[in-house]
């Protein structure tokens, strides 16, 4: 005979389970993006990758993103890098929301996008902030990370080769 506590635990797990794999995929992809940022920074500053990725890992991710912008300043690609860094920064904020803090409420359907869990935390201005996260959000953002990686590789390649800045629209179609 199962207790009401066990039944409740099973009920909660049934609401959590659809999110487990998409959260794992998203976090895994974001980790790959972090490594890509480190690798491309090593390329930009001509630092041995085996040593560089370990050194850069000691820096906060936001600092590493700003270094990308710094090393793009001397090129024709400053604006593209600024936009790319901003887009990666948005994914970093989403990742922080997903990974940190409690999952506080479950909704059976949010705006027709299916079930959602709500994360509660503080905004950058230290104001209460609630974020509803669906499986579709996690999936969409995991795909976006792959696009950001591709944009970063192409942009660093262009910076290193001195190509013109007119390739941003082509990379956005990836």
CB atoms within 10 A of CB 63: 10
Predicted confidence (pLDDT) per residue in 163-173, tens digit: 544 444 434 44
3-state secondary structure of 102: coil
Query: How much is the pTM?
Result: 0.85
Q: Does residue 99 have a pLDDT over 90?
A: yes
Q: Calculate what percentage of the chain has a pLDDT beyond 90.
A: 63
Please give the residue range of the domain that contains residue 16. Answer: 4-171
Domain count, the chain: 1
Please report the pLDDT score of residue 44 as a whole number.
Answer: 92
């Amino acid at each position: 005979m199962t207790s009401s506590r066990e039944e409740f635990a099973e009920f909660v797990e049934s609401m959590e389970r659809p999110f487990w794999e998409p959260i794992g995929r998203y976090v895994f992809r974001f980790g790959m993006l972090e490594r890509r940022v480190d690798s491309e920074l090593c390329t930009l500053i001509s630092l041995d990758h085996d040593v560089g990725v370990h050194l850069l890992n000691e820096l906060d991710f936001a600092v590493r993103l700003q270094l990308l912008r710094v090393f793009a300043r001397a090129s024709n690609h400053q604006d593209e890098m600024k936009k790319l860094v901003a887009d990666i920064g948005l994914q970093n904020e989403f990742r922080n929301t997903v990974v940190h803090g409690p999952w506080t409420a479950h909704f059976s359907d949010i705006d027709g996008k299916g079930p959602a869990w709500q994360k509660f935390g503080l905004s950058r201005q230290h104001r209460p902030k609630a974020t509803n996260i669906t499986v579709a959000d996690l999936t969409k953002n995991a795909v976006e990370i792959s696009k950001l990686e591709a944009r970063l590789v192409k942009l660093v390649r262009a910076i290193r080769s001195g190509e013109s800045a007119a390739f941003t629209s082509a990379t956005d179609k990836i």
